[in-house]
Amino acid sequence: MNTLLPTLYLLILFLSLCTLLVFLFIQIIKKKELETELSQLQKKNRSGTASPSDQYSLGVIYLSKKLFDQAILQFSSALKNWDRLDTEGLATLYNTIGFTYFESGQYDVSIYYYKEAINLNSNYAIALNNLAYSYEKKKMLQEAIKTYSKVLTFDEENRIANEKLLSLQKRSKIRDDRI
């Protein structure tokens, strides 16, 4: 009994450290792959051979690194060169630009881009959710409620829209009761 407890402790410690080591190794590999992709896309962009989808990918990497200004520049370049017949791709690009502006705290500009995405794809639930959340951040509760309700007309099971709609309706009712 005296030797079993320390052995068990050491085994658990060893397994925990191995798990941590594997996790760190995976993270290092992912980071290296991302940096390699970033380097390749930057080279393409500097040489002028980057396609709009390359510019979009570069913008997404900048966005993940929270380099909002650089991301917006890449997304704007992609937008200028994007195939206008690819409405689904354009809607995604507009939504991503809106998200970038939202993350940088520019809610009015994000609302514009979300609306552009929705104009291209009227049942784009992600853009609608993002638009409603932007309205919520701007304290435009009635617009947010309308937009979340619109999401639910396309996707009744949308968990985010359901939860937010209930929450906003309660907040709106409490606010109306105070007035």
More confident residue, 175 or 16: 16
Mean of the pLDDT values across residues 122-133?
93
> What mean pLDDT comes out for the span 164-168?
87
Between these two residues, 29 and 2, which has the higher pLDDT value? 29
- 155/159 Cα distance (integer angstroms): 9
Over residues 27-53, the mean pLDDT reads 92
pLDDT (0 to 100) of residue 175 = 56
Q: What pLDDT does residue 168 have?
A: 85
Amino acid residing at 3: T
* Cα dist from 120 to 103, 171, 173, whole Å: 22, 32, 33
Structure tokens, 16: 């925990």
Whether the pLDDT of residue 97 is over 70: the answer is yes
For residue 170, pLDDT over 90 is answered with no
Mean pLDDT to the nearest integer, 65-80: 94
pLDDT of residue 115: 96
- In the predicted structure, residue 1 carries a pLDDT above the cut 70: no
Query: Does position 72 have pLDDT exceeding 60, yes or no?
Result: yes
CA nearest 62: which of 51, 76, 54, 72?
72
Q: Is residue 141's pLDDT more than 90?
A: no
Question: Does the structure show a pLDDT above 60 at 177?
Answer: no
